[in-house]
């Protein structure tokens, strides 16, 4: 089954169970953490799509407790989504090529030749703020 998911580019990271846990206004995404339980533990992640976003966003609760955000598209082809690699400080394309990037966006393996640029993310009490500009 995993092979077919990769063949068709089906990512593992879900959209938030509570679609109201985030909003996008004037180039800023704001996530209310108590409404996003997927991000409560290290290794958790959500994908944000729609609602006026200029591009999809992947948000990851890193193993060290910090949060990371990336444009949710592989730089190899551009339309496949990214997923966190369980237990590692890496993200990986959901396709067969499995381009893999570290949390700084550097390409570690796979078909991608360009880095994945991390987004500026700031932790505030009870919230995450991501700048898309």
Domain 2-131, second-level architecture: 3-layer Sandwich (2.102)
In the chain, domain spans: 2-131
Residue 84 CA to residue 66 CA, distance in Å, equals 14
Write the DSSP assignment of 56-122 as a string of letters. Answer: -EEEEE-TTS-EEEEESS-TTTSSS-EEEPTTSSEEEESSTT--EEETT--EEESS--S---PPEEE
Q: Nearest 5°: phi and psi at 42? A: -55, 140
Segment 31-67, tens digit of pLDDT: 999 999 999 999 999 999 998 999 999 999 998 889 9
Strand partners, 57: 48, 71
Segment 67-115, tens digit of pLDDT: 999 999 989 877 789 999 999 999 999 887 789 999 999 999 998 989 9
């Amino acid at each position: 089954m995993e092979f077919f998911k990769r063949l068709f580019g089906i990512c593992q990271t879900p959209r938030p169970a509570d679609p109201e846990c985030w909003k996008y206004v004037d180039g800023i995404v704001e996530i209310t953490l108590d409404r996003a339980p997927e991000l409560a533990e290290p290794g958790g992640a959500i994908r944000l799509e729609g609602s006026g976003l200029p591009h999809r966003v992947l948000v990851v609760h890193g193993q060290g407790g910090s949060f990371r955000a990336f444009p949710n598209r592989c730089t190899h082809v551009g339309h496949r989504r990214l997923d966190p690699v369980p237990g590692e400080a890496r993200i990986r394309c959901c396709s067969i090529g499995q381009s893999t990037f570290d949390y700084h966006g550097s390409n570690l393996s796979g078909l991608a030749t360009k880095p994945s640029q991390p987004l500026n993310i700031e932790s505030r009490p009870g919230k995450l703020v991501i700048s898309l500009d």
